[in-house]
Amino acid sequence: MRGFIPPQTQDEIVFCKKALTLCENSEKFNIKTFSTFLDLRQKELFISQFNKCHGIILDFYAGFEGDSERCIAGVCNEFDKIYTYDYPISILYSKINCDDNITHRDFLGAIMNLMIKREYIGDIIVKNDECFITCHNSMAPILISELKKVKHSFVNFEYYDKSLSYDREFSITKSTTVASLRLDAVVSAILNSSRSTATTFINQGLVSINHLVSKRTDFEIIDGDIISIRGKGKYKLNFDGGKSRKDRYFIAYSKY
């Protein structure tokens, strides 16, 4: 199991200060407090700040059940409880033109063009001819009134008041072996390239693990890590520690 990785950038240091203040306010004023949407790295950092406080409990919710990448942290008194309806999360829904091949990236780009910060947008689920957007309550009216076109298709979002569950679908799943669980070895296997090519991607800051950019070629990968390679896709790693007769690790990776 990988240990906690402390803040690596000034942005992460600032984030930790804000997270600690949020937890302290819940402890001091006995109120429920909520973050904006957190990615996997921010979730890890938030937990590290929560652990500095006492007498409070921590929960996370993405707005739906199933496989999510972004969630909101909720903090309250240890004798209280946070319910799903307490979270400042709205789910929006629209039919889409599936013939236009609109992707998650297209929707995210259209939302960013509205000058909405990423932290106010949760998961964007695109499947068949439907799109679901989880967002902070404060952003829902803006998206409903302003998000009317994505790529070449017109959309019309409205509040979705039913329960939602989602299991992520992967475009490919492959198995292979690697000499070690170092980042450069795993990236090389995913890209089916040389170790030097993988090293170049890593050194240029094009590879992140669970939303944390790493320029360390010897960074050790663990089961369940999500590796993003800019321009090449996002992959979820799975392995159980098994080795081949040649002492190579068996791994499997699925592309989003």
pLDDT, average across residues 115-124: 97
User: Does residue 169 have a pLDDT over 80?
Assistant: no
Average pLDDT estimate for 154-172 = 90
Count of alpha carbons within 13 Å of 102, Cβ hemisphere only?
Answer: 28
Length of the chain: 256
Residue 247 pLDDT > 70: yes
Nearest to 157 by CA among 148, 166, 169, 167: 148
Band (pLDDT 50/70/90 cuts) for residue 240 is confident
Predicted confidence band of residue 1 (pLDDT cuts 50, 70, 90) = low
Contact present, 256 and 236 (Cβ < 8 Å): yes
Six token digits for residue 32 = 């429920």
From residue 70, give the alpha-carbon distance in Å to each of 26, 31, 183, 215: 22, 23, 24, 24
Give pLDDT tens digits for 78-93.
Answer: 999 999 999 999 999 9
- Does the pLDDT of residue 170 top 90, yes or no? no
> Max Cα separation, the chain?
60
Mean pLDDT computed over 58-76: 96
